[in-house]
Amino acid sequence: MKFVRVNMTDKTIKIEDVSPEYAGLGGRGLTSIMINNEVPPECDPLGPENKLIFAPGFLTGTSLVNTSRISVGAKSPLTRGIKESNAGGSIGASLGHLGITAIIVEGQAPDGDLSLLHIDERGEASLVPAQEYQGMRTYALVEKLLAAYGEKSSVMCIGPAGEYRLASASIQSTDVDGRPCRAAGRGGMGAVMGAKGLKALVVDQRGKNPDVITDPQAFKEAAKAVVEAVKADHMSAEVMPALGTAALVAPVNAMGAFPSYNATKGQLDGWEKISGEAMAEIIKERGGNTTHRGCDQCMIHCSNEYVDKDGKFITSSLEYETIWSMGGMTGITDLDVIARLDNLCDDIGLDTMNTGVAVAVAMDAGYKKFGDAEAAIEMVEEIGRGTEFGRILGNGPAAVGEHFNHPRVPVVKRQSIAAYDPRGMLGNGVTYATSPMGADHTAGNVVGAYLEKKLDPLNPEGQAETSRFLQIAMAAFDCMGQCFMASVALLHPDGFGAFQKLIEAKTGAKFEDGYFPFGMGTRILKAEKEFNRKAGLTKQDDRLPRFFYEEPLPPHNKVFVISDQELDGVLDF
Amino acid sequence: MKVKVKLYGTLSLQVPGYKPSQGMEVEIPDGATVKDLLAYLEILETRGAAVIANGRVLKADDKMQDGVSVDVFQSMQGG
């Protein structure tokens, strides 16, 4: 257990012990609590006072399945509040195998100065000049980095969007096949990395110094219970390997909650052409892979490899949220175009969701017509080239709305909503409004409660409570490095109990009943809310944009009806 | 009564000859519920089926209407 503290101003690296206040934390818990402790809340997110923290989950690097997530945290240049964005791939496990609890990037390199951080198989960290990689897109960059540092390396890096410090800039993460197609997409973490002058993080995968497990036998037993729960869950074990997250297109559209044409309709004309079922057919016909392991230690294999008509790789993995942002929101119903846009975003280093919604807002404002595939590709290319309009687009939907004086901008705290319209799924609206992260589906997605008939998506009753429960649980799972696809199989007392045992077995400490997820999740959310408050965010920032309250969404023709008072009570701990 | 059914996710794989573009028409007794329809289709509870008609997720004891079109999904928690 150790922190690697990297100062980009004077190019020094310090190795520190993990202080007791961070014991038992990893992932989002660690990044959020440390940011709240160490980052001045009113600082410039792109200035030297901000810190960029990379933290694998607390259980990442152990033998537990589906734990390869890494959290990236900082003050966000998009939301102006605290941000945790997490990614899969292989780098989380690589750091876990080296016993590295977090890398904390501080200070700021002089303008134009670019470095990469290399960590070798013994855990030795060094800053290396990276001027030669300036402006490079991520696929070409990773190819060069793997050639230089060896195939047994994991990479997180930025593309041109991060170097331009755009608010939609992502940090891309390599999958198990060494492609930068996983992303810590949300909240402009790539811009913070670019502002620090850090182009890439390269970590050797052959580390053999993971954290000690205090009670290996108890850990093994609890880990086995997790495997059994994931195997028994139809979503994790059956649907995800066959269709991946794209399986959600059909049911969410059928429920009338698939935000389409910049959230002016809840159902997309031609949705059948971009459904998970259609995607799987296309991939199979062309010889791609509908089932693919994208992340280390994954037993779900929700990823896919989308190929063109000649069987040539276009992107991995084509996901529900991207199909929605680049398809539903823009009215583009051609999966080949959507796959190309996904790959472009990965290559330029952009959040596909914020970018797709930015394109949709521009179309809604009359800049181009909905469904214009060529225009969408050109717009994203403009971001890559860094043109004036490209930079506006790359700063996300709110920046585009301001540019065109267009009021219909589906964001909360300037971050785009996800693929569930808050008027058709009220609970998702509660999560968008109240999550300290801004509009974020991973913070507490209520869709499962609707499909399982536990809750009526159009009835206000029970929405706030369900969102609160899920937000607490997800904050805790994000702390562990557990993949969302596996976490959902564990959203019950037995699953929570197994995780509490895993934490106790690793640390050797005993926690009070319900510590996981309630004690831990609440502690994380409290720190995040405190930071946001000190950064100047108010209750008014915990609201949806006006149009969700005023413009009825077809086909149900409902508006968002959860009261401000109820929203204010959701995370009022 | 007759009900038009479309199956999604991996549910379509369990019906031999099922064509996703066409769906299927099934005949079930008058007064049959969502639960009866799922039993007829041999879709087990454990597969988390969600039946949607006219934009609404139906409950297990909701009665089916003659001639209705339903979509049958497996429930999911998000993506």
pLDDT at B56 over 80: yes
CA quadruple A326, A327, A329, A330: dihedral sign? positive
- Cβ atoms of A87 and A171 closer than 8 Å: yes
If one compares A188 and B44, the residue with the highest pLDDT of the two is A188
Do residue B76 and residue A276 have CB atoms under 8 angstroms apart?
no
pLDDT of residue A60: 98
Closest approach of B9 to chain A, Cα-based (Å) = 6
Candidate from B9, B47, B55 with C-beta closest to A247 = B9
Question: Residue B46: which pLDDT band, with cuts at 50, 70 and 90?
Answer: confident
- Cβ atoms of A156 and A138 closer than 8 Å: no
Contacts of B78 in chain A (CB under 8 A): 245, 248, 441-442, 445, 447-448, 484, 488
pLDDT of residue A538: 98
What is the average pLDDT across A431-457? 97
Low-confidence winner among A408-422, A503-517, A558-572, B45-59 (lowest mean pLDDT): B45-59
pLDDT tens, position by position, A309-343: 999 999 999 999 999 999 999 999 999 999 999 99
List of residues 6+ apart from A107 with CB closer than 8 A:
A7, A8, A9, A10, A48, A196
CA quadruple A479, A480, A485, A486: dihedral sign? negative
- Any alpha helices (H) in A99-214, and if so which ranges? 138-149, 160-163, 189-196
Do residue B55 and residue A234 have CB atoms under 8 angstroms apart?
no
Give the CA diameter of chain B. 37
Which phi-psi region, left, alpha or beta, contains residue A250 (left: φ > 0; alpha: ψ -120 to 50)?
alpha
CA-based nearest residue in chain A for residue B69: A254
Residue among A221, A198, A173 nearest A69 (CA): A173
β-sheet bridge partners, residue A415? A412
Contacts of B48 in chain A (CB under 8 A): 234-235, 451-452
Distances (CA, A) of A14 to A24, A35, A382, B9: 22, 18, 39, 50
3-state secondary structure A203-234: EECCCCCCCCCCCHHHHHHHHHHHHHHHHHCH
Do residue B10 and residue A239 have CB atoms under 8 angstroms apart?
yes
What is the average pLDDT across B37-43? 93
Report yes or no: B65 at the A interface, CB cutoff 8 Å. no
Tell me how far apart the alpha carbons of residues A115 and A93 are, in angstroms, rounded to a whole number: 23
pLDDT of residue B79: 79
Strands A52-56 and A100-106: antiparallel
pLDDT at A107 over 90: yes
pLDDT tens, position by position, B13-26: 888 889 888 999 99
Q: What are phi and psi of A108, to 5 degrees?
A: -160, 130
pLDDT at B9 over 80: yes
Candidate from B50, B55, B60 with C-beta closest to A451 = B50
- Cβ atoms of A408 and A263 closer than 8 Å: yes
pLDDT of residue B44: 84
Contacts of B50 in chain A (CB under 8 A): 251, 451-453
Look up residue B72 and give its two tokens: 């049958």
Closest approach of A314 to chain B, Cα-based (Å) = 21
Tell me how far apart the alpha carbons of residues A515 and A501 are, in angstroms, rounded to a whole number: 10
Question: Residue A305: which pLDDT band, with cuts at 50, 70 and 90?
Answer: very high
Tell me how far apart the alpha carbons of residues A64 and A316 are, in angstroms, rounded to a whole number: 24
pLDDT at A533 over 80: yes
Candidate from B48, B55, B71 with C-beta closest to A256 = B55
Do residue A251 and residue B76 have CB atoms under 8 angstroms apart?
yes
What is the average pLDDT across A487-511? 95
pLDDT of residue A246: 98
ipTM > 0.95 for the complex: yes
Closest approach of A284 to chain B, Cα-based (Å) = 15
How many Å is the Cα radius of gyration of chain A?
A: 22
pLDDT at B31 over 90: yes
Look up residue A308 and give its two tokens: 């063109």
Question: Based on the number of CB atoms within 10 Å of its own CB, is A555 exposed (0-12), middle (13-18) or buried (19 or more)?
Answer: middle
Candidate from B20, B55, B76 with C-beta closest to A239 = B76
pLDDT of residue B13: 84
Do residue B78 and residue A556 have CB atoms under 8 angstroms apart?
no
β-sheet bridge partners, residue B3? B26
Tell me how far apart the alpha carbons of residues A354 and A187 are, in angstroms, rounded to a whole number: 9
pLDDT at A543 over 90: yes
What is the average pLDDT across A157-183? 98
pLDDT of residue A268: 98
Look up residue A357 and give its two tokens: 């919604």
Question: Residue A426: which pLDDT band, with cuts at 50, 70 and 90?
Answer: very high
pLDDT of residue B16: 84
Question: For all residues of chain A together, what is the average pLDDT?
Answer: 97
Do residue A234 and residue B47 have CB atoms under 8 angstroms apart?
yes
Closest approach of A445 to chain B, Cα-based (Å) = 6
Whether the full predicted model's pTM is greater than 0.95, yes or no, is yes
Closest approach of B24 to chain A, Cα-based (Å) = 17
Contacts of B74 in chain A (CB under 8 A): 234-235, 238-239, 247
pLDDT of residue B57: 97
pLDDT at B48 over 90: no
pLDDT of residue A445: 97
Other Cβ atoms closer than 10 A to A132: 9
Low-confidence winner among A54-58, A467-471, A479-483, A487-491 (lowest mean pLDDT): A487-491
Question: For all residues of chain B together, what is the average pLDDT?
Answer: 93
pLDDT of residue A148: 98
